[in-house]
Amino acid sequence: MAPRYYTVSWDQLHRDSKALAWRLVERGPWKGIVAITRGGLIPAAIVARELDCRLIESVSVITYDEEKLGTPVVAKPPVAADDGEGWLVLDDLVDTGTTAKVVRGILPKAHFATVYAKPAGKPLVDSFITEVSQDTWILFPWDTEPQFVAPIARSGMVK
Using CA atoms, how far residue 105 sits from 62, 109, 123, in Å, is 15, 9, 15
**For 48-93, how does the pLDDT look when each residue is reduced to its tens digit (9 = 90+)?**
999 999 999 999 998 876 666 678 899 999 999 999 999 999 999 9
Choosing from 11, 16, 65, 91, the catalytic residue is: 91
Q: Quick count: other Cβ atoms within 10 Å of Cβ 84?
A: 20
**pLDDT for 157:** 60
**What structural domains does the chain harbor?**
4-144 (3.40.50.2020)
Tell me if residue 52 is catalytic. Answer: no
Is the separation of the CB atoms in 123 and 73 below 8 Å?
no
Tell me if residue 82 is catalytic. Answer: no
Choosing from 11, 52, 65, 95, the catalytic residue is: 95
CA pair distance 76, 62, nearest whole angstrom: 10
**pLDDT for 67:** 62
> Which of helix, strand or coil describes residue 139?
strand
